[in-house]
Amino acid sequence: MGDAIISVRDLHKWYSGVHALKGVTLDFRRGEALGLVGDNGAGRSTLINILSGVHRADKGEIKVEGREVSIATPRDAMDLGIETIYQYNSMVPTMSIARNLFIGREPTRFSILGVGILDQKKMAEESIRAIANVDLHLRSPDALVGELSGGQRQGVAIARAMHFKSKVMILDEPTNHLSVKETNKVIGFVRGLKEQGVTGVFISHNMHHVFDCCDRVVAMARGEVVLDKRVADTSIDEVHSVL
Amino acid sequence: MKRLFKTYLEKPELAGLILLVLLIILFQVRSHGVFLNADNLRGILGILPEAGLVAIGVTILMISGEFDLSVGSVFALMPMTMAVLMVHGAPFPLALLAGLLVCAAIGFINGYVTIRFAIPSFITTLGMLFMARSLTVVVSGGFPPLLPIDLPNWLFTSFVGPGNMFRMSFLWFAAVAVLTSLMLSRTNFGNWIKATGGFLPAAASMGIPTARVKIVCFMLCSVLSGFAGMLQVLRLGSPLPSIGEGLELQAVAAAVIGGASLTGGIGTVMGGIIGTTLIRVIDNGLVLSHVDANWFKFAIGFLTIFAVVANAWMRKRAKAIKMEA
């Protein structure tokens, strides 16, 4: 296993009196696929929201590639190479694939104060390449995301993260509400991350999906890490028993 | 071929455009050729920019997912502010600047209150509708002030072009239309507007400053409405405190007829313009065809519903045309 790309130490979070994270310490290693499991309210989402800049920790330390960082906004997280893909939250259905790929990070030909003219040629070319790179076959980058299937949308989101060279990709319940075929496709995407040297954090309720594509499984319960083992050294039953 | 058909069917302004063409033909026939003659066109094009500029602002704001009912009141308040300042000796450019700043401030308040307190913009701007209208009457003291006679009408309302076909206001309108269209379709800011209105959580999670995007759209909407009000006052020659009443709903109707979605994310500047033109064409065409003018509002109401139904149907048809994925 590689060195730690993200390490969190003694992370705490309170939500109006509820102690949601109780001193979580965890390393995410370079190039591994990590499955993060736990029941609702176990603290998984809180941890992920802190790493992706949606919430801030009340106490604790986050290091990315050995450097202590402060992640205040989603943009900070993206700039650090941490990309989060939510089941529903990452695509605008009324916009084209090409536009979605570059939301918030559009290439411009020139700009004043961050506002500028889109480089549409570059967007079209790069989006075709980005989609092909994750082995997704779509007719045109101009198709609306709203017309894609759930699995295809996850594919586009993953293509986007790859395109922007993210180092850590957090997938929040990416297989929820997907058909078996689509689920397999997404699991294939997660496996593909490793080949490209990207750390994948796979969050799921479904233990089988986690065991299918992850190297390591981390279980959380009541705001704490209760199990952290290599998939080869544990079993679905053992993980269930600690939750 | 199929793809081309699908692409056009997906254009939100298509239903409005088809209706517009049909109505123009209908009125041309019914009025025995009077509708499209130069004098009548000059009349329509002379007042189109006023409602059109408001519709552009409202359309863009609707694309960002918000709503502005105060445009009609801002339409009256801006020229009234200018008139009062000029009565007190302020030169025109200074009064213009002050008027536009008042509009920008109102837009900012609309946006800030809506976002800061997470309330529907329908409520914020409904309140602003009453407040801005009241301010208009208060600053005028109940009497419309007399405008100075040396106003730069050449820059805003004089007739120009071949056969004196257009007023200057039309050129302002055209320039704003082109610029805002390009902003929506060709700039990253336009992309942010569509993303913010299309699906707010996605836009926010991708790092778009959604609150700022919306506030800018509110401000743009107010500024365009105020500017349009000034054009009307310069055309009429007097700052009546009652101008623009009912304009807010007409502007929403125009945007919706032009394909803008009430839920945000969908719409075009061109659609808003088509919608406004349609309303003006009906207003004018009914009179020329000797139809009782009181049917005007009925026609607008009917068209609004019809256009939205037609749009929804066409979008569904477009979706049904399966392209190989």
Asked if B204 lies within 8 A of A117 by C-beta distance, the reply is no
Whole-angstrom Cα distance, residue A93 to residue B201? Answer: 12
Residue whose tokens read 């679905």: A236
- Per-window interface: B 5-34 vs A, CB < 8 A: 10
A interface test, pick of B191, B220, B324 with most A CB neighbours within 10 Å: B191
Question: Quick check: B207 and A73 CB within 8 A?
Answer: yes
**What residue in B sits closest to A74 (Cα-Cα)?**
B207
Report the percent of chain A where pLDDT is more than 70: 98
Structure tokens at B138: 């208060």
| Cα of A237 to nearest chain B Cα, Å | 35
Q: Mind telling me how many Å the CA of B216 is from chain A's nearest CA? A: 13
| CA-based torsion, B88, B92, B95, B99: positive or negative | positive
Asked if the C-beta of B208 comes within 8 angstroms of chain A's C-beta atoms, the answer is yes
**Residue A160: closest CA among A98, A80, A114:** A98
User: In the numeric block, which tokens belong to residue B110?
Assistant: 């609309």
Per-residue pLDDT of chain B (325 residues; tens, 9 = 90+): 677 777 777 788 888 899 999 999 999 999 999 999 999 999 999 999 999 999 999 999 999 999 999 999 999 999 999 999 999 999 999 999 999 999 999 999 999 999 999 999 999 999 999 999 999 999 998 788 989 888 998 999 999 888 888 999 999 999 999 999 999 999 999 999 999 999 999 998 888 999 999 999 999 999 999 999 999 999 999 999 999 999 999 999 999 999 999 889 999 999 999 999 999 999 999 988 888 888 888 999 998 899 888 888 888 888 777 654 4
Q: Check the CA dihedral A216-A219-A224-A227 and report its sign.
A: negative
Q: What is the pLDDT of residues A45-60, one digit of tens each?
A: 899 999 999 899 999 9
Nearest to A103 among B187, B191, B324 (CB): B191
B10 contacts A90? CB cut-off 8 A: no
- Rounded distance, CA B159 to CA A181, Å? 66
- pLDDT category at A89 given cuts 50, 70, 90 is low
| Closest CB to B205 among A84, A120, A139 | A84
User: Cα separation of A39 and A42, whole Å?
Assistant: 5
pLDDT of residue B323: 59
For residue A108, the SS3 value is: strand
* Chain A residues in contact with B208 (beta carbon < 8 A): 103-104
The nearest alpha carbon in chain B to A148 belongs to B325
Structure tokens at B284: 């004018």
What is the structure's pLDDT at B325? Answer: 46
Q: What angle do CA B173, B176, B177 make, to 5 degrees?
A: 80
Q: Give φ, ψ of B36 to 5 degrees.
A: -95, 10
What is the pLDDT, as a whole number, of residue B221? Answer: 98
Minimal CA separation from A116 to chain B, in Å? 5
**H or E segment to which residue A110 belongs:** strand A108-112
Interface of A with B (CB under 8 A): 52, 54, 73-75, 78, 84, 86, 88-95, 99, 102-106, 108, 111, 114-118, 120, 137-139, 143-144, 147-149, 152
Q: Which residue of B has its CA nearest to A89?
A: B202
Residue B32 carries which DSSP code?
T
Q: At what angle do helices B269-288 and B38-63 cross, to 10 degrees?
A: 140
CATH of domain A4-242: 3.40.50.300
What whole-number distance in Å separates Cα of residue A57 and Cα of residue A52? Answer: 11
- Beta carbons of A92 and B202 less than 8 Å apart: yes
Considering only the beta carbons, identify the residue of B188, B202, B319 that sits closest to A115: B188
Mean pLDDT check: name the lowest of A9-18, A183-192, A199-208. A183-192
Alpha-carbon distance values, A190 to A45, A95, A101, A170 (Å) = 19, 25, 19, 10
Q: How far apart are CA B135 and CA B128, in angstroms?
A: 10
Domains of chain B: 2-320 (1.10.3470)
Q: What letter represents residue B167's amino acid?
A: R
Digit-coded pLDDT (tens) for A132-163: 877 777 778 888 898 888 888 888 888 898 88
Token pair of B272, please?
Answer: 């808003």
Q: What is the pLDDT of residues A97-125, one digit of tens each?
A: 999 999 999 999 988 888 999 999 999 99
Partner-chain residue, chosen from B198, B204, B325, that has the shortest CB–CB distance to A138: B325
Mutate to test the interface with B, among A82, A103, A110 (most CBs of B within 10 A): A103
Mean pLDDT (whole number) for A70-95: 88
Kindly report the CA angle at A216 between A210 and A220, in degrees rounded to 5?
A: 75
What is the distance between the alpha carbons of residues A154 and B150, in angstroms, rounded to a whole number? 63
* Cβ within 8 Å, pair A52-B206: no
Contact state of B202 with A75 under an 8 Å Cβ cutoff = no
Q: With a cut of 80, say whether residue A1 has pLDDT above it.
A: no
Q: Which residues have CB under 8 Å from A61's CB, separation 6+?
A: A8, A9, A10, A11, A68
Does the distance separating the beta carbons of B191 and A78 come in below 8 Å? Answer: no
Q: Is B116 on the interface with A (CB under 8 A)?
A: no
DSSP string, A6-48: EEEEEEEEEETTEEEEEEEEEEEETT-EEEEEE-TTSSHHHHH
One-letter amino acid at A149 equals: S
Q: How many CB atoms lie within 10 A of CB A226?
A: 14
Distance of CA A121 to the CA centre of its chain: 28
